[in-house]
Structure 1
């Protein structure tokens, strides 16, 4: 697929109906607290047009100095603030702060269903398209590295597999989609797995 076809596929994917996802999808034995309070957040699932790969997904490796999720792979994003005006504004603000995405550089394509994390957030993924390469810079306090994976890695459900580990005393299952030295897992992998499933329909 070329860049224009990929852009159209992303637009079509976000229009398809599907349920919200959760870090608990693969762990039905976990009993969730009724009436739990979740904090609203948003991430920017940013694809950049690329002559060779068609498109590449922009990801970050979080700083190892961060209190929450140090060193993990993530899409740019964070909590929705009152002045953001909603998930789209929050995702763009966080991308500007974390990777230096210039205002107006990316086209917003739509939102994917919300995702609940084990850390108490409801995350709205915002699909975005970057038609051309722009200089990006990591915010040293939050981002250790900016990298990208090719479209074929992000859009293929077969690239994702399920692994498990002990978390808070119980076995937890989760999606992973490793790419070279980057271990993409947890909420990021679950959100991307959901998108890959929509793209393959």
Structure 2
């Protein structure tokens, strides 16, 4: 079980979607992650949304012309995603055992995105396994992009992994750090409360 499921009980899909819908109605930009990803790979690229939740990022990328696949453990989140975009491929799977072949999909993604706080909310000591599995789903030269809340303003519990530990997991999986940003607006990382890391295979 992930720390997310322990926190939410796997029943927060509708509430999570409603929170972002309210933000969008108030004029807030809720597509920063998709815009960031679109700046990394061209339209038509294959994108795996690992920990896709209610599908906000993936649906936007699909609208922009990307070939997307979404995977999440939380069925309540996936139910919202399937309702919002029934024509897109959504899969329920634990990232610790993620195997594209078992889902009948190719392991040749141009980009894997773990937006939000996927890695900080994994079950402790599973992070290296998840990095290895996601790295294996990338084509040579593909990119793994992950977001990290590093303080209580960005994460409801202390993160289970530091950025240095994450970098080590990536290095052991054959990935190289490309860059790190202070958020999805691609501002230079300043050691603050949120980070976005880009690694290459």
TM-score by shorter chain over 0.5? no
TM-score normalised by structure 2 residue count = 0.29
RCO greater where, 1 or 2, for CA within 8 Å and sep 6 or more?
1
Q: Give the number of the structure whose residues are more often helix, by fraction.
A: 2
Q: Give the number of the structure whose residues are more often strand, by fraction.
A: 1
Structure (1 or 2) with the larger CA radius of gyration: 1
